[in-house]
Amino acid sequence: MQYNTRYWKRCTVCKKRKLLKFFHKGRGSCIKCRKKNYEANREQILAAARAKWPNRKEYRREYLQKNKKHTVAREYEYRKHNPDIWEACQKRFHESRPGWKTRQSAEAHIRKKRPGAMPKWLTKAQYLEIEEWYAICAEIQWLSEEKLVVDHIVPLHGKEVCGLHVPWNLQILTNSENCKKGNKFPYLPK
């Protein structure tokens, strides 16, 4: 029987002729044979990989920082095509870190809303003044027994009124006072 080499390839290990879909691109052995080889020599392969990449975590972190746009696009594509796998992975992640999801989503919510509340007409000096509020809050923290936070006098997203993230709309409060105040604007008539 004549095989078209465009669709078929011979495995270098088991010597069987198989369709190209059973091979990784650029590899001589088929996927099945490569799996068998990995299972038989797993420890040696992992030891060789560790020797080749002793600081793999730092390398990976640098790579992700340099290629952020590409990696985000690739992750988005993976999530779109494998939603069930992605959900299972997320579920395992959040089960191993109780309370993480709520804290992270709250912080993300705040980060998402704050830039929209920061007007474009702010000067550099005013940006520095905003940073100063947070620096002062961190410096005087040791004076207070309670946690101090920088609060917006007019809330960024209140029910009656929405404020701006500007220096004259900031104040330092204890965390409990800030929670009591919430998203209310205390100066509105009732």
Per-residue pLDDT, averaged over 28-53, amounts to 89
Query: What's the number of domains the chain is made of?
Result: 2
Q: Last residue of a domain, which of 31, 52, 73? A: 52
Token couple for 111 = 């980060």
Q: Note down the domain range covering 154.
A: 114-181
Model pLDDT for residues 66-106, shown as the tens digit of each residue: 988 888 888 889 889 998 998 898 888 878 876 665 555 55
Confidence (pLDDT) at 33: 92
Token couple for 155 = 């809330």
Contacts of 148 (CB under 8 A, 6+ apart): 137, 140, 141, 172, 173, 174, 175
Q: Last residue of a domain, which of 32, 52, 72? A: 52
β-partners of residue 9 are 18
- DSSP string of 41-61, one letter each residue: THHHHHHHHHHH-TTHHHHHH
Q: What are phi and psi of 136, to 5 degrees?
A: -60, -45
Model pLDDT for residues 115-169, shown as the tens digit of each residue: 567 777 888 888 888 888 888 888 888 787 888 888 888 887 777 777 888 888 8
> Does the residue 73 lie in any domain?
no
| DSSP H helices in the chain | 31-40, 42-52, 56-66, 68-81, 83-96, 100-117, 124-139, 175-181
Query: Would you say residue 2 has pLDDT above 80?
Result: no
Q: Last residue of a domain, which of 16, 31, 52? A: 52
Q: What confidence category does residue 39 fall into, taking pLDDT thresholds of 50, 70 and 90?
A: very high
> Does the residue 131 lie in any domain?
yes
Query: Would you say residue 47 has pLDDT above 80?
Result: yes
pTM of the model: 0.41
Q: What confidence category does residue 51 fall into, taking pLDDT thresholds of 50, 70 and 90?
A: confident
> Does the residue 11 lie in any domain?
yes
Q: What are phi and psi of 115, to 5 degrees?
A: -60, -35
Per-residue pLDDT, averaged over 7-13, amounts to 87
- Are 189 and 151 within 8 A, CB to CB? no
Confidence (pLDDT) at 43: 93
